[in-house]
Each structure stands twice: as structure tokens, then as C-alpha cells.
Amino acid sequence: MTEDYRSIEEALGYTFKDISLLETALTHRSFRYEQDQVEKDNQRLEFLGDAVLGLASAAHLFKEHPTHREGNLTRLRSSLTNSKVLARVGSSLELGKYLRLGKGEEQSGGATRPSNIADAVESILGAIYLDSGMAEVTRVFDRLFLTRLADSVNETWTDNPKGALQEYCQCHWKCSPRYRIVKEHGPAHSRSFTSEVLIHERVMGTGCGASKRDAESAAARNALQSLAQ
């Protein structure tokens, strides 16, 4: 069994003392239902792993961003530990080919299903916690997740740039950004708008869009990119 999972351990940078914990972390409930001799699946480890992942990410963000308020820290933690990030981490570990799945789940593409891979990542973190404690979870978290923090935050900016800019302004300057439409052009059926976003009455970004809302979102995204630089 140890040889079967050695590549996962190398990718994790962690060697299990009790390899059965890793095997359980990779066992989907569909496999347990079909195998009478298998008594455990990864659902309980997933529950534990979700908790320790939350603690590891919260502790890191609390330490690295001493001026951030609760709302901003919560947003950053979500961007770092959401299911998309978990699935990417699991894919980088090639967990899909090690998942123990029932026949039906395997035939329906369960080995590549993002939710299964994300659940397995949380389960592995839970298994590491039981095997060695929180210090090792933190070390593995740093190795696998922190390199993805910038990309995760950028995705959040893309999904809701106005919300992200509002949080940034509240956190750093205790103010809200102000938007103004500075240009409208094109025929009535195909209008185009240009918006500016101002912070403390200083123009921080501009953007264009087919609606005022789209133009404001583009301006917020432009402002966030400027602030990041």
C-alpha cells in the first residue's frame, strides 16, 4: 500500500505514519457501499479537513494582513479555500487516479469530478491532522495553497470587482468608491458607456461597457489592477 501512494506523499511533502489514513481519505462512499469488507469512507475526514483547512488559512491571513478587517479576511479565506481551488490542488496531486470509487461512480466520470477531488483534498488534510497534528497541516497548506492565493484573489476581482473594490476601500481608507459616467456614445439600440471610479475624488480607474453597470465594473477592475501594482 505504501508504494501505491508514494507519489502522493512526495507531492504533498508529507509521509504518513499510518498509511491507512491516506487510503481512507481516498475512499469515496460509493466504494464502501459496494465493498462489504470496507468499513470507512472519507466523509468524516472531509468534515475534519474542512475545519483544519479553515484554521490554517485563517491563521495565515490573520498574521499576514494585520490591518484587514473581518469582512476582507473572510473574503480572502473564501478565495483561498473554495471548491475550485481545492479541485485544482487535487488535480495537481493527480488524486483522480487514486480515488477508490464504486463502479457506477467510476463509470460516470467520478475520477475527474471536481467535487470528488475537492472532497479528497479536505479528507487528506484531516488525515494529516490525525496522523501528526496541526503543525504538519499548516506546512502542507503553505506548500499547496499559498502559491495559489494571488490567482484566487484575481478570480474574486473578476467575479465581483465592484464588491472587491468596496471592501478594499473600506479596509484601507474607511471610504466608498464613487462612480460617474463620463461618456455615452453610439445609437440608441447599441449604446456604449465610459465610467470613471473615484477614491477620495481621485480617478483611480476607467472602463467601458454596453451598460452603465458593465462600465462601472470595468472601471472597478481597472482600479484594482492599479492598486495591486
Q: Which residues are catalytic?
A: 50, 122
Residue 100 DSSP label: B
- Phi and psi of 206, rounded to 5°? -135, 155
| H or E stretch covering 23 | helix 19-25
> What is the rounded distance in angstroms from the CA atom of residue 160 to the CA atom of residue 168?
12
Burial category of 148 from C-beta neighbours within 10 Å (exposed 0-12, middle 13-18, buried 19 and up): middle
> What is the rounded distance in angstroms from the CA atom of residue 61 to the CA atom of residue 76?
8
- Phi and psi of 146, rounded to 5°? -65, -30
